[in-house]
């Protein structure tokens, strides 16, 4: 659906001091049913941004997005109340593979990157995968969805930069410890690219294939405008991505190095 639906905010959940989840009623029919790793475009009647889908309940007809307050657009969303409205269109993009029966999966999320990881984990668990989750944040109060996923049956390993909860250090270090002592068949990763790039190297060294969710500046979300193209491949994050396999990631030279601003200038991580 390429025209925004104007929908009331049904519920707002304060997840952390800087992160909120917004729940909407959503028609769960055919291609309108989201799957993990996809995104929707959110319009606040002034600007429009892509947001990962963090939650769906097909039976209740509910969809959730999880938003970290980092700039003017997200600050505006955080100021809204239940009953106010936003424009939503989508879902868009290619998502994670969740058909992973009896597969040992390592799911890794950094900060608000846990949003699609949480959605993925719940679907993978329904499909009988065995899922370990590395949930990373700067500090304990910013950990996202760790309790939610423990309640669903995932093994959750928290890590914080300051050591206030779980492992003290970065997700890259926590993952290295896990893969030295446990065996995994597959990995899914979402977070800052400065986190994902060394994780990709570590997982490749241990011959663990997987999928990685990338983020770029988007405008149309349907593969027309070209703003979210990655340089050497011509792949569009909105259409060929945002989720890419390990083999595809190996071909993207800008992965973990730079992205482009709204004006097209390179901005290095």
* Beta-carbon contacts of residue 72 (< 8 Å; ≥ 6 apart): none
For the chain, how many residues are written?
269
Smallest Cα–Cα separation from 264: which of 238, 223, 229, 220? 229
The whole-angstrom separation of Cα 136 and Cα 191 is: 9
Q: Is position 229 annotated in a ligand binding site?
A: no
**What are the phi and psi torsion angles at 85 (to 5°)?**
-120, 155
Q: Quick check: 129 and 102 in contact, CB under 8 A?
A: yes
The whole-angstrom separation of Cα 263 and Cα 6 is: 29
As a whole number of angstroms, the longest Cα–Cα distance in the chain is 50
Q: Is position 220 annotated in a ligand binding site?
A: yes
The whole-angstrom separation of Cα 217 and Cα 50 is: 9
What distances in angstroms separate CA 66 from CA 173, 195, 246, one per listed residue? 26, 20, 26
Q: Is position 165 annotated in a ligand binding site?
A: no
Q: Is position 228 annotated in a ligand binding site?
A: yes
Feature table: binding site: 220, 225, 228, 238
Feature table: binding site for [2Fe-2S] cluster: 220, 225, 228, 238
């Amino acid at each position: 659906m390429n025209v925004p639906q104007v929908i009331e905010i049904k519920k707002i959940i304060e997840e952390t001091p800087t992160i909120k989840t917004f729940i909407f009623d959503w028609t769960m029919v055919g291609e309108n049913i989201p799957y993990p790793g996809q995104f929707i475009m959110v319009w606040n009647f002034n600007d429009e941004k892509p947001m990962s889908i963090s939650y769906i309940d097909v039976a209740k007809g509910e969809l959730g997005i999880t938003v970290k307050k980092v700039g003017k657009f997200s600050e505006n969303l955080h100021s809204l109340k239940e009953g106010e409205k936003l424009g939503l269109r989508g879902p868009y993009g290619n998502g994670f593979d969740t058909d992973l029966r009896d597969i040992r999966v390592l799911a890794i999320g950094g900060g608000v990157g846990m949003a699609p990881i949480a959605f993925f984990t719940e679907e993978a668990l329904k499909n009988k995968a065995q899922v370990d989750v590395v949930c990373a944040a700067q500090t304990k109060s910013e950990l996202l969805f760790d309790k939610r996923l423990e309640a669903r049956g995932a093994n959750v390993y928290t890590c914080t930069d300051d050591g206030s909860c779980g492992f003290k250090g970065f997700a890259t270090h926590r993952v290295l410890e896990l893969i030295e002592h446990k065996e995994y068949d597959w990995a899914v990763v979402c977070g800052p690219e400065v986190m994902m790039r060394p994780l990709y190297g570590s997982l490749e060294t241990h011959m663990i294939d997987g999928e990685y969710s990338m983020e770029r500046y988007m405008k149309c979300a349907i593969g027309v405008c070209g703003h979210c193209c990655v340089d050497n491949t011509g792949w569009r994050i909105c259409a060929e991505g945002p989720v890419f396999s390990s083999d595809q990631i190996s071909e993207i030279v800008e992965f973990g190095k730079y992205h482009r601003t709204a004006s097209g200038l390179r901005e290095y991580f």
